[in-house]
């Protein structure tokens, strides 16, 4: 079965179960500021998981583009990818564990005709890190009734069988994962489902979102119980085709073939990394990300440069990224037209980044040449950190020159670096960064007022290009060709605060996209839903198509203060703002 056939079969199966097909959200989250990228199909659905009515109903299904860097160090093994396609179906306060698990099993066994004897499952077995939540015995009982024996059911902790929340707070719950025995020999007695030994391929995950984690670490029942399930297209396609890795399917075959044609020193793991990273980079650029030294741009830059580094290790010395991207585009543009539409942009960004990085590599080699016969761990790590040299590249160069590398010393330096990075991340995300708390909801509603205020002051051509809201600040990106004057900034700020002071009602309506356009709503993210969209009106001042969470009245927002206005890129500006405190303390 091809990937295309798998996707069609999945959508058709859940349509028969009463689900409505919704389009994939972009890789850049539209209304969820808790992550840089859309890492799962549930991210665009958070407001609906929390109880808001979805325009398409309570049962949803789709094929979602997804991107994760959590497993980047595992890329190159048989099963891990950064970019992937995820088949997902959701129950928003409708069916629960029994139906979700039975349908998952039915699809695997009856629709895909997988061997039941090769299916293993993991469930949440309880964990002290999730206080007050017991082991999921209900799920274990359901699996046993379906014929999965005790010795194929693994009770695991939070690390393996608990999902969420995305930030420090929000919806979360236990999950049950399905694995397929690929027949690859075990690597000793420790190999089990969930390990990276290669024997078991995870093909499905049912998440049961029944809790909301609060800021003080408590797990409280959600207003509604939700089911969020996912099946990876790449992994399942490989299993269905009897392959022992995702790179042997038609999803990667042409890409791997192109890399092999270019490589002088073919090595499978390195080629897989190149294929994965450039496929992911192609999709990220198509969805609007450009290489930079911050946030999304930094992740994209890291992928491209990592692919270039590994390309050198397999003997690719010519410019090659656009050659590989061309194959990616040919392979995927039928299902994902955006990669074809943005072909020239993808080529331009890749070529520019490849040219820049090759200069850095050249400087790194000059630095390498000056090192002595014994390269210390610190020197090897400096080559990695300052010039992007992976340890393998340093070892290869050292071998050519008859030098030795202190590998153990490098590993120690690398571990110290990771510790510092983790500490920095914890500091950056301290205090419940970008979640779905009251503060971020207030900030999100304020961006609607800001958007309309900018249009009134600057002109109707202004449109939002991005936003990021944390409990501490608001960041709003918009189209505008030049710097705002102090007078314009003050006027925008005054308009927003006036609308907050007027205590306007925030009203949500569901309507067709055509109806939304005719009503005057700003269509920021058209095409998200197949039939209906959510339209939020703030009095008669603002009307937008939006799927985020909002306050009920503007008086709940607080005083709005612009702290900075700056250039973001050609034709784009960024406003940074804060909500100083609740309105009643400021306007009374």
The alpha helices in 207-342, defined as continuous H runs, are 233-240, 253-262, 268-286, 295-313, 321-332, 337-341
Rounded Cα distance, 10 and 365, in Å: 50
Identify whether the C-beta of residue 528 lies closer than 8 Å to the C-beta of residue 30. Answer: yes
Bridge partner residues of 20 (DSSP)? 60
Does the annotation place 480 within a ligand binding site? no
Tokens of 7: 């996707």
The pLDDT value recorded for residue 529 is 47
Q: Do both 290 and 222 map to the same domain?
A: no
Three-state SS annotation for 450-514: HHHHHHHHHCCCCCEEEEEECCCCEEEEEECCCCCCHHHHHHHHHHHHHHHHCCCEEEEEEEEHH
Q: Select from 330, 358, 386 the last residue of a domain.
A: 358
Residue 217 covered by a domain: yes
User: How far is the C-alpha of 11 from the C-alpha of 530, rounded, in Å?
Assistant: 14
**Whether residue 441 has pLDDT greater than 90:** no
Range of the domain at 413: 371-433
A 10 A CB-CB count for 555 gives: 16
What integer pLDDT is reported at residue 582 of this predicted model? 43
187 appears as a binding residue in the annotation: no
Q: Does 391 lie in the same domain as 258? A: no
Kindly state whether residues 180 and 270 are assigned to the same domain: no
Ligand-binding annotation for 444, yes or no, is yes
Domain termination site, one of 219, 243, 267? 243
The sign of the CA dihedral 353, 358, 360, 364 is positive
Average pLDDT of the residues of the chain: 87
Of 36, 31, 28, the residue nearest 429 (C-alpha): 36
pLDDT of residue 190: 62
Q: 334: Cβ–Cβ under 8 A, 6 or more apart, which residues? A: none
For residue 580, what pLDDT is reported? 76
| Residue 109 and residue 34 in one domain | yes
566 and 539 in a single domain? The answer is: yes
pLDDT of residue 105: 96
Please provide the distance, in angstroms rounded to a whole number, between the alpha carbons at the two ends of the chain.
Answer: 67
Cβ distance 450 to 494 under 8 Å? Answer: no
Would you say residue 423 has pLDDT above 60? no
548 and 453 within one domain: yes
Same domain? 204 vs 69: yes
Pair 309, 423 in one domain: no
Would you say residue 192 lies in a domain? yes
pLDDT single digits (tens) 474-501: 989 888 989 999 999 999 999 999 999 9
* Residue 131 belongs to some domain of the structure: yes
Phi, psi angle pair for 290, to nearest 5°: -125, 150
Please, are residues 501 and 583 in contact by the beta-carbon 8 Å criterion? yes
pLDDT at 426 over 50: no
Is 269 in a helix, a strand, or coil? Answer: helix
The secondary structure element, H or E, covering residue 384 is helix 377-387
Is the domain of 112 the same as that of 224? yes
- CB of 577 closer than 8 Å to CB of 563: yes
Q: Which of 243, 277, 305 is a domain's end point?
A: 243
- Please check whether residue 59 lies inside any domain of the structure: yes
- Could you give the CA distance from residue 367 to residue 365 in angstroms, rounded to a whole number? 5
* C-alpha to C-alpha distance for 35 and 43, rounded to whole angstroms: 9
Instruction: Give yes or no: residues 24 and 156 share one domain.
Output: yes
> Same structural domain for residues 127 and 42?
yes
Calculate mean pLDDT across residues 104-118: 95
Element (H, E) at 156: strand 153-156
Contact between 531 and 581 under an 8 Å Cβ cutoff? The reply is no
The per-residue pLDDT for 359 is 84
Q: Is the pLDDT of residue 10 over 80?
A: yes
Question: Residue 8: which CATH number?
Answer: 3.30.930.10
**Domain membership flag for residue 574:** yes
8 A C-beta contact, residue 559 and residue 581: yes
The better pLDDT of the pair 149, 439 is held by: 149
**What does the pLDDT average to over 399-408?**
91
Question: Are 44 and 29 contacting, i.e. CB atoms less than 8 angstroms apart?
Answer: yes
Mean pLDDT value of segment 47-61: 89
Q: Tell whether 177 is covered by a domain.
A: yes
pLDDT band, very low/low/confident/very high, at 251 (cuts 50, 70, 90): very high
Q: Residues 375, 403: contact at Cβ < 8 Å?
A: yes
Evaluate whether 137 touches 107 at the Cβ level (below 8 Å): no
Q: How confident is the model at residue 225 (pLDDT cuts 50, 70, 90)?
A: very high
> What are the tens digits of pLDDT across the range 528-584?
444 678 899 999 999 998 877 889 999 999 999 999 999 876 678 999 999 975 434
Residue 467 sits in a domain of what CATH number?
A: 3.30.980.10
Flag whether 363 is in a domain: no
Give the gyration radius of the chain's Cα atoms. Answer: 25
- Enter the pTM of the model: 0.75
Q: What is the pLDDT of residue 555?
A: 93
Rounded Cα–Cα distance for residues 226 and 89 (Å): 11
Residue 549: predicted pLDDT: 80
329 and 402 part of one domain? no
**Is 19 annotated among the ligand-binding residues?**
no
Q: Are 312 and 271 in contact (CB under 8 A)?
A: no
Do 571 and 481 touch, CB atoms closer than 8 A?
yes
In a domain, 213, yes or no: yes
Residue 461 CB: number of other CB atoms within 10 A? Answer: 9
Tally the domains of the chain: 4
């Amino acid at each position: 079965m091809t990937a295309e056939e798998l996707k069609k079969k999945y959508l058709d199966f859940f349509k028969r179960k009463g689900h409505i097909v919704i389009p994939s959200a972009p890789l850049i989250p539209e209304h969820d500021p808790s992550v840089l990228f859309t890492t799962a199909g549930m991210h665009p659905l958070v407001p609906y998981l929390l109880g808001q009515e979805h325009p398409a109903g309570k049962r949803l299904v789709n094929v979602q583009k997804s991107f994760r860097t959590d497993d980047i160090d595992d890329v190159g093994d048989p099963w891990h990818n950064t970019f992937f396609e995820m088949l997902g179906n959701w129950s928003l306060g409708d069916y629960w564990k029994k139906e979700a698990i039975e349908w998952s099993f039915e699809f695997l066994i009856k629709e895909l005709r997988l061997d039941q004897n090769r299916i293993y499952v993991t469930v949440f077995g309880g964990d002290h890190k999730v206080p007050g939540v017991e082991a999921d015995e209900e799920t274990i009982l359901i699996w046993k009734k379906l014929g999965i024996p005790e010795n194929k059911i693994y009770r695991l902790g939070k690390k393996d069988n608990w999902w969420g929340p995305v930030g420090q707070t929000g919806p979360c719950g236990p999950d049950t994962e399905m694995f397929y025995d690929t027949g690859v020999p075990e690597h000793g007695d420790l190999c089990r489902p969930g390990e990276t030994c290669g024997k078991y391929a995870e093909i499905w995950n049912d998440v049961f979102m029944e809790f909301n984690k609060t800021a003080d670490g408590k797990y409280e029942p959600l207003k509604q119980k939700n089911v969020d399930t996912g099946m990876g297209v790449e992994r399942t396609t490989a299993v269905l085709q009897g392959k022992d890795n995702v790179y042997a399917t038609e999803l990667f075959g042409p890409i791997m073939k192109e890399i092999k044609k270019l490589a002088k020193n073919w090595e499978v793991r390195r080629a897989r990394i190149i294929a994965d990273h450039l496929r992911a980079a192609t999709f990220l650029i198509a969805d609007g990300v450009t290489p930079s030294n911050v946030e999304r741009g930094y992740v994209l830059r890291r992928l491209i440069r990592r692919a270039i580094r590994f390309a050198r290790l397999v003997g690719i010395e010519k410019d090659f990224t656009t050659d590989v991207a061309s194959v990616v585009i040919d392979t995927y543009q039928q299902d994902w037209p955006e990669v074809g539409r943005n072909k020239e942009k993808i080529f331009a960004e890749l070529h520019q980044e490849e040219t820049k990085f090759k200069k850095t590599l050249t400087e790194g080699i000059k630095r390498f040449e000056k090192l002595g016969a014994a390269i210390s761990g610190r020197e090897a790590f400096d080559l990695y950190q300052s010039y992007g040299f992976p340890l393998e590249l340093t070892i290869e160069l050292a071998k050519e020159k008859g030098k030795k590398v202190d590998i153990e010393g490098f590993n120690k330096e690398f571990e110290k670096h990771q510790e510092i990075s983790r500490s920095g991340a914890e500091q950056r995300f301290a205090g419940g960064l970008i979640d779905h708390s009251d503060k971020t909801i207030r900030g999100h509603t304020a961006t609607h007022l800001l958007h309309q205020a900018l249009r009134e002051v600057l002109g109707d051509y202004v449109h939002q290009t991005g936003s990021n809201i944390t409990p501490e600040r608001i960041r709003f990106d918009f189209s505008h060709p030049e710097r705002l004057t102090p007078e314009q900034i003050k006027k925008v700020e005054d308009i927003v605060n006036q609308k907050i002071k007027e205590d306007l009602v925030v009203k949500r309506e569901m309507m067709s996209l055509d109806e939304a356009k005719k009503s005057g709503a700003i269509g920021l993210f058209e095409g998200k839903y197949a039939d209906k969209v959510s339209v939020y009106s703030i009095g008669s001042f603002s009307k937008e198509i939006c799927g985020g969470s909002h306050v009920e009245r503007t008086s709940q927002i607080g005083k709005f203060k612009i702290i900075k206005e700056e250039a973001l890129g050609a034709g784009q500006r960024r406003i940074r703002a804060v909500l100083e405190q609740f309105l009643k303390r400021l306007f009374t």
